[in-house]
Amino acid sequence: MCGIIGYVGARDAVQVLLNGLRRLEYRGYDSAGICISSAEKLHIARSVGKVSALESGPVLKKLYGTVGIAHTRWATHGEPTQENAHPHADCKGEFAIVHNGIIENYAELKQMLIEKGHVFRSETDSEVVAHLIEEFYDGSFEKAVRNAVSLVAGAFGIVAAHRGENKLIAVRKSSPIVIGIGNNEMFVASDPAAIVEYTRKVVYLGDGELAVITPLGYTVKKMSGEKVNKHVDNISFSLSHIEKKGFKHFMLKEIFEQPESVGNVMRGRLKGSEIKLSINVDTRAVRRVILVACGTSWHAALIGKQYIEKYAKIPCEADYASEFRYRDLPLSKDDLVVAISQSGETADTLGAALKAKSHGAKTIGIINVVGSAISREVDGGIYLHAGPEVGVASTKAFTSQVVALFLLALYIRLQNGGLVPEDAISELKQLPAKIDSILDNAGQIQRIASEIKSASSILYLGRGINYPVALEGALKLKEVSYIHAEGYPAGEMKHGPIALVEEGFPVVFIATKDSNYEKVLANISEIRARKGRVIVVADVPGVALEGMADFIIEVPRTIPDLSPILNVIPLQMLAYYTADLKGLDVDKPRNLAKSVTVE
């Protein structure tokens, strides 16, 4: 989950690396550091906290060079301290590394190195790599790195620098590494967002590949030493896409981008009553669909499960990827496993897809990042085209995923001889305009946020296809405001959660006018009877709920199956404004990182 960037060329490497770190900070902000390599020594500056703390430090102001590596950390092994910040160096100060991932056998490696006389300065697992390179070095930097990582078990993206050498070496196993191609300069990073300011031409390293990077180019090899010819991709977004454009936070910007991002999922895929998906998988023989995901993407999967079962008439499971990959579940060629991940790099979701593939199941990905690990491993997929999502709390990716799952369900239905209901296509096309109308109501939602910002706990309740919306609304609030929140099926309220309700306790209901509407009204009455504070997201006129709710957020009507896409928007905004009114850094919630590339 950490951010990595490296540069070799003719520019001032410090400025290139700092610019990259700022754009990678969403991947971790516990500490940050830079190493500049010169003929004389490695110059390292590190600090605790955000990149701004590193930038303002006295050491960094003295650094200059044209070769360097940098890192922004999300702590796994070792507390967020200056000693544990990357880059890490060997005993002699000859080699420095930055690392994203987890080294599972670091304890054994560390003990072995200590017995050989190596002295460690940090508590991290990462530092062992620098000492291993030192141990194996016999005049060949590349050979030393190759031998070092051959002993490492776990997931890693590593970039190494050697004093006096005008080159960097990068290695990838399960953690993303991208090489940027410039004019007599080269870049390497864990995310293309870090380097899009300088180049749009990139190469994505595959698992088990090592790259030697110099100002004049790069060479990619397998760990055996065999050269690999790589396809050069173009980054699909520009620098402007990862700037705030006048919004206070990226999260707010991305909430307001949802009319466009939802439209982008459908663009080119709706042809009259036809659904056009280039997923490269024959779904006609599928007998079971399994959706695997983590976090917000899992909430999208819970909605997608209902789409698949209703429209495709195929049994469907929605499983946490972190559980699926370790379950002893029978899989076959009749199964379709759908891996859902915004980044396409989520370690558990990637692991689940690889497990499914190894058991002969068909696999597709629903992802947002072109060239990501999952996109390269699955049989086919649906790109969201939502644009970069920088805010740690996912918003536009969630609604895009739900639309993609709806399209997938309709596509499978068509492939198996069914017809697509006309209202489904019509309502899909109206979603962007309806989302726009919800965003126009930001002032009211901000006022509600001011009323709940001091709450210590909030309950979110929904039924049927909107139960996952309750889960997602609660997750968003927890992520950015640090208020405890719990999402629950409204029908289960009396089986425990109602015990939380006392006078003034906030309860958020999703009350869509569907087959469960009257039951939800009954649940609201039960909360009112206990003097709870009721907030309702509803697609019926406010007068219909007067006297039942303290606050009513109206959303436009749509067919019930698409209502989650509209109902979640005000809950995203409620979470955002609550956190902002509390004075919190919404884009960098504590202890979280955007892309979870480790287990």
Q: Which residues are CB-neighbours of 368 under 8 A, at least 6 positions away?
A: 342, 343, 344, 383, 384, 385, 386, 389, 397, 400
Would you mind telling me the total number of residues written for the chain in this entry?
A: 599
pLDDT tens for 202-253 read 999 988 999 999 999 999 999 888 899 998 988 877 666 777 878 999 999 9
553 occurs within a structural domain: yes
pLDDT tens for 324-376 read 999 888 999 999 999 999 988 888 999 999 999 999 999 999 999 877 889 88
Last residue of a domain, one of 235, 262, 281: 235
Domain count, the chain: 3
Are residues 429 and 453 located together in one domain of the fold?
A: no
Are residues 353 and 484 located together in one domain of the fold?
A: no
590 occurs within a structural domain: no
DSSP string covering 304-322: HHHHIIIII---EEEEEHH
Are residues 79 and 196 located together in one domain of the fold?
A: yes
Q: What is the CATH number of the domain that holds 72?
A: 3.60.20.10
Are residues 418 and 550 located together in one domain of the fold?
A: no
598 occurs within a structural domain: no
Q: What is the mean pLDDT of the chain?
A: 90
Are residues 192 and 116 located together in one domain of the fold?
A: yes
pLDDT tops 70 at residue 594: no
595 occurs within a structural domain: no
pLDDT of residue 211: 94
Are residues 224 and 320 located together in one domain of the fold?
A: no
Strand (E) or helix (H) holding 4? strand 3-8
Are residues 107 and 45 located together in one domain of the fold?
A: yes
User: Which of the residue ranges 471-485, 503-517, 524-538 has the most confident prediction, judged by mean pLDDT?
Assistant: 471-485
Cα R_g (the chain), whole angstroms: 25
Residue with tokens 């979280």: 592
With beta carbons less than 8 A apart as the criterion, state whether 318 and 291 touch.
yes
How far is residue 507's CA from residue 504's CA, in Å, rounded to a whole number?
A: 9
591 occurs within a structural domain: no
How far is residue 304's CA from residue 289's CA, in Å, rounded to a whole number?
A: 10
Domain enclosing residue 301, as ranges: 245-436
Are residues 364 and 479 located together in one domain of the fold?
A: no
| High-pLDDT (> 90) share of the chain, % | 62
Name the active-site residue from 50, 253, 396, 594: 594
Are residues 368 and 417 located together in one domain of the fold?
A: yes
pLDDT tops 70 at residue 53: yes
Q: What is the CATH number of the domain that holds 462?
A: 3.40.50.10490
With beta carbons less than 8 A apart as the criterion, state whether 239 and 222 touch.
no
- pLDDT band for 599, please (50, 70, 90 cuts): low
pLDDT of residue 414: 93
72 occurs within a structural domain: yes
Last residue of a domain, one of 208, 235, 262: 235
Clarify whether 2 is annotated catalytic: yes
Are residues 211 and 265 located together in one domain of the fold?
A: no
Last residue of a domain, one of 384, 416, 436: 436
- pLDDT band for 2, please (50, 70, 90 cuts): confident
pLDDT of residue 253: 94
599 occurs within a structural domain: no
Are residues 431 and 447 located together in one domain of the fold?
A: no
301 occurs within a structural domain: yes
Are residues 419 and 446 located together in one domain of the fold?
A: no
- pLDDT band for 271, please (50, 70, 90 cuts): confident
pLDDT tens for 80-120 read 788 888 899 999 999 999 998 888 888 999 999 999 999 99
Name the active-site residue from 2, 35, 294, 316: 2
